[in-house]
Amino acid sequence: MTTAVLRTEVDKLRSLASTWWFLGITAAVSLALSGFGVRETAEGQEPGIADVLTGPAFAQLLIMVFAARSATMEFRTGTIWASRLAVPSWYRLLTGKAAVVAGLAALAGAVLMAGGLAVAALAEPTARLTPDSGLDWRQLLTVPVAFAITAVIGLAVGLLLKSGGATVAVVLVWSLVAEPALGAAGEWLLRVDIGAWLPFIALSDFQGQPGGTPFPGGPYAAGLYVTALAVGLLTAAIRLQERREP
Amino acid sequence: MTKATIEVSGLVKTYAKKRVVDGLSFTVNPGTVTGFLGPNGAGKSTTLRMLLGLTRPDAGTALIGGRGYHEHPEPLRVVGALMDARWTHPKRSAGAHLTWLARSNRIPVQRVDEVLAQVGLTDVAGKRVGGFSLGMAQRLGLAGALLGDPGVLVLDEPANGLDPEGIAWMRGLLRALAAEGRTVFVSSHLLAEMAQLADDVVMIGRGKLITQGSVTDLTSLSSTEEVLVRAEEPERLRDLVVEHGATVVEAPERAEALLVSGMSSEDIGRAAARAGLVLFELAPRRRTVEDAYLKLTADSVEYRGSVQQPMEGSRV
């Protein structure tokens, strides 16, 4: 039954033209930004891997929106109830959906990371694109992982809010506005420096993105922490769905 | 296809302190078409949702083949349900919709073409569901219910949106499925259709069982025969039948006609002849399912409208 649930979720995504459009546009934007990233490096600096990854960093946000939409669309169209009749367990249904969405996100991350490097090599042949440090390797190899984590977060928020518009607003405003603001002003507002503990800031440290706040325990602990948060949010969303009456 | 019985026992569901299903118990047997009737707000949809595991009951059980819906590992192979034909993504094709449903329960994908042919949608298998009419969407919903070749069918208003030919087709299909030994449980407001379609009826009101039995039993329940009479002198006729101990009311659907209860048409005819009364019409009225339904659910109607008086100056 588990394999059947996973195949079903793959079928659902594959059978919609919007899936392919969305992924296509995300890929185009990401690859273009990777190319521009190495072409438009600040004067005096050598273009490198971090510049290539501006593309996937933006794509990560789009994939989070895509994941949220994969949940909200089912509730909006009523398809979720047909799914529920076919798989009469919220736990199996929604973890299957999360697994497929996370898997697709990870695959997209790997493709965009590799594709970004290829585009960058064409756009700026002098760029330093070969990883030659632990940080370089971490920056590249955490891209698929980070995509999967943010996809699960987006899906979980979508399950909690059920509204596409509200979900997109919440995840984007949180990641782009609220977290940076809390990170900068948290100690002043709350008397506690919570910056490193905010999920997207912690994820940024895990990915080795420059200019971030170091996580206590190091970047790999940050990765484990954000993974646990994503799983916890998904679990809470599933539990709440089980308790809600349709 | 595995035969199974539907058994509902002591089912209770409360929403915001209101009991919408109140100790409901009934059984639906294989090889029959059973109608599920009741006024708006009687608890029919809530009962069906509890039967299909979409809503959790506060008490009682709703079993299909001796198990709760969620206990069947591949429920679409046991129960085919049509609750809402719009539970589809409008941008997905009919074939794609049925394909993912089939895969979810490891039903062979060849069944998709078979059920589409069965409901007459083969030509639009590749068409997006958003472009379907209501009748086509209903047919697709029925195709989804038939996908797993289930022994039990639970259908909520399956004829909704179908034209008369479609309704006749649906009736034939459901009767054939019941004849194969399947359990067919249909909720409907089309009482005349139910009279032709159903073998048995479960009637509920305000969350409680009013009656369960065959359609024949239902239409003969509690009433004495009524006779529609139209006479040259209606007042004399009224006095005559009252003298004989019968009751008489004005027929709601016929001006100047009377409905007599407690006397057979033969007795009315003889009494009128002896009194020299001229009768224009003397017709025993066969009680219909609608009559029985309205009589039995009279106390259970939640939402009752009023008859609007025409506005002054408007044409009637």
Per-residue pLDDT tens over the stretch A162-182: 988 899 899 889 888 988 888
Q: Is the pLDDT of residue A41 over 90?
A: no
Q: Do A4 and B100 touch (CB under 8 A)?
A: no
The pLDDT value recorded for residue B313 is 52
When pLDDT is cut at 50, 70 and 90, the band that residue B180 belongs to is very high
Rounded (10°) CA dihedral B257, B261, B266, B269: -40
3-state secondary structure of A47: coil
Compute the average pLDDT of residues B192-206: 86
DSSP bridge pairs for B22: B12
Is the minimum CB–CB distance between A87 and chain B shorter than 8 Å?
yes
Q: How far is CA B183 from CA B6, B82, B155, in A?
A: 8, 14, 11
For residue B191, being part of any structural domain is answered with yes
Residues B10 and B85 in one domain: yes
More confident residue, B118 or A129: B118
The pLDDT value recorded for residue A209 is 87
Q: Do B144 and A82 touch (CB under 8 A)?
A: yes
When pLDDT is cut at 50, 70 and 90, the band that residue B307 belongs to is low
When pLDDT is cut at 50, 70 and 90, the band that residue A183 belongs to is confident
- CATH code, domain with B262: 3.30.70
- The beta-strand segments (E) located in chain B are 6-15, 18-28, 32-37, 59-64, 79-82, 152-156, 183-187, 200-205, 208-214, 226-231, 247-250, 258-261, 279-285
Cα–Cα distance measured from residue B118 to residue B172, given in angstroms and rounded to the nearest whole number: 12
The pLDDT value recorded for residue B16 is 86
Closest CA to B141 of A92, A5, A18, A79: A79
Q: Do B81 and A78 touch (CB under 8 A)?
A: no
Q: Is the pLDDT of residue B99 over 60?
A: yes
Q: How far is A1 from chain B (nearest CA, A)?
A: 7
Query: Which structural domain range is residue B125 located in?
Result: 6-215
Compute the average pLDDT of residues B2-31: 92
The pLDDT value recorded for residue B105 is 95
The pLDDT value recorded for residue A186 is 65
Is the minimum CB–CB distance between B100 and chain A shorter than 8 Å?
yes
Number of Cβ atoms within 10 Å of the Cβ of B222: 9
Q: Which of B215, B246, B271 is at the close of a domain?
A: B215
Q: Is the pLDDT of residue A77 over 90?
A: yes
The pLDDT value recorded for residue B7 is 96
Q: Do A4 and B91 touch (CB under 8 A)?
A: no
Residues B59 and B91 in one domain: yes
The pLDDT value recorded for residue A180 is 85
Ramachandran quadrant class, B10 (left: phi over 0; alpha: psi -120 to 50; beta: rest): left
Would you say the pTM of this structure is higher than 0.95? no
Compute the average pLDDT of residues A90-107: 96
Which residues, 6+ apart, have CB-to-CB distance to B162 below 8 Å? B135, B138, B139, B169, B170
Helices and strands (DSSP H and E) totals, chain A: 11, 0
Q: Is the pLDDT of residue B89 over 70?
A: yes
**Residue A123 contacts residue A43 (beta carbons within 8 Å):** no
Compute the average pLDDT of residues A67-92: 94
When pLDDT is cut at 50, 70 and 90, the band that residue B248 belongs to is confident
Q: Do A11 and B70 touch (CB under 8 A)?
A: no
| Closest residue, chain B, to A14 (C-alpha) | B96
The string of pLDDT tens digits covering residues B136-169 is 999 999 999 999 999 999 999 898 888 888 888 9
Residues B48 and B150 in one domain: yes
Query: Which structural domain range is residue A121 located in?
Result: 2-243
Cα–Cα distance measured from residue B47 to residue B35, given in angstroms and rounded to the nearest whole number: 13
DSSP state of A213: P
Q: Is the pLDDT of residue A22 over 70?
A: yes
Q: Is the pLDDT of residue B119 over 60?
A: yes
In terms of Cβ atoms closer than 10 Å to its own Cβ (0-12, 13-18, 19+), residue B136 is buried
Is the minimum CB–CB distance between A21 and chain B shorter than 8 Å?
no
More confident residue, A155 or B217: A155
Cα–Cα distance measured from residue B179 to residue A204, given in angstroms and rounded to the nearest whole number: 64
Residues B200 and B252 in one domain: no
Cα–Cα distance measured from residue B275 to residue B240, given in angstroms and rounded to the nearest whole number: 8
Q: Is the pLDDT of residue A124 over 80?
A: yes
- CATH code, domain with B176: 3.40.50.300
Indicate if the alpha-carbon torsion angle A166, A171, A177, A178 is positive or negative: positive
For residue B306, being part of any structural domain is answered with no
Q: Is the pLDDT of residue B249 over 80?
A: yes
Q: Is the pLDDT of residue B222 over 80?
A: no
Q: Is the pLDDT of residue B223 over 80?
A: no
**Residue B190 contacts residue B220 (beta carbons within 8 Å):** no
A84 vs B15, B54, B93: nearest CB: B54
Q: Is the pLDDT of residue B224 over 60?
A: no
**Residue A102 contacts residue A150 (beta carbons within 8 Å):** no
Residues B168 and B21 in one domain: yes
On whether ipTM exceeds 0.90, the answer is no
3-state secondary structure of B311: coil
- Give residue A219's Cα distance to chain centre: 17
The pLDDT value recorded for residue B316 is 46
Closest CA to B185 of B53, B274, B81: B81
Residues B125 and B235 in one domain: no
The pLDDT value recorded for residue A106 is 97
Residue of B18, B56, B104 best to disrupt the A interface, most CBs of A under 10 A: B104
Is the minimum CB–CB distance between A82 and chain B shorter than 8 Å?
yes
A4 vs B75, B86, B105: nearest CB: B105
Is the minimum CB–CB distance between B111 and chain A shorter than 8 Å?
no
Residue of A7, A69, A73, A85 best to disrupt the B interface, most CBs of B under 10 A: A85
Q: Is the pLDDT of residue B88 over 90?
A: yes
Q: Is the pLDDT of residue B306 over 70?
A: no
Q: Which of B191, B215, B239 is at the close of a domain?
A: B215
Cα–Cα distance measured from residue B234 to residue B279, given in angstroms and rounded to the nearest whole number: 9
How many domains does chain A contain in total? 1
| Chain A stretch 96-135, residues whose beta carbon is closer than 8 A to a beta carbon of chain B | none
For chain B, the average pLDDT equals 87
The string of pLDDT tens digits covering residues B45-58 is 999 999 999 999 99
The pLDDT value recorded for residue A114 is 95
Q: Which of B153, B183, B215 is at the close of a domain?
A: B215
For residue B301, being part of any structural domain is answered with no
The string of pLDDT tens digits covering residues A134-159 is 889 999 999 999 999 999 999 999 99
Structure tokens at A214: 């170091």
Which residue matches tokens 């890929």?
Answer: A27
For residue B312, being part of any structural domain is answered with no
Cα–Cα distance measured from residue A148 to residue A12, given in angstroms and rounded to the nearest whole number: 19
How many domains does chain B contain in total? 2
Q: Do B104 and A4 touch (CB under 8 A)?
A: yes
For residue B133, being part of any structural domain is answered with yes
Q: Do A8 and B70 touch (CB under 8 A)?
A: no
Is the minimum CB–CB distance between B14 and chain A shorter than 8 Å?
no
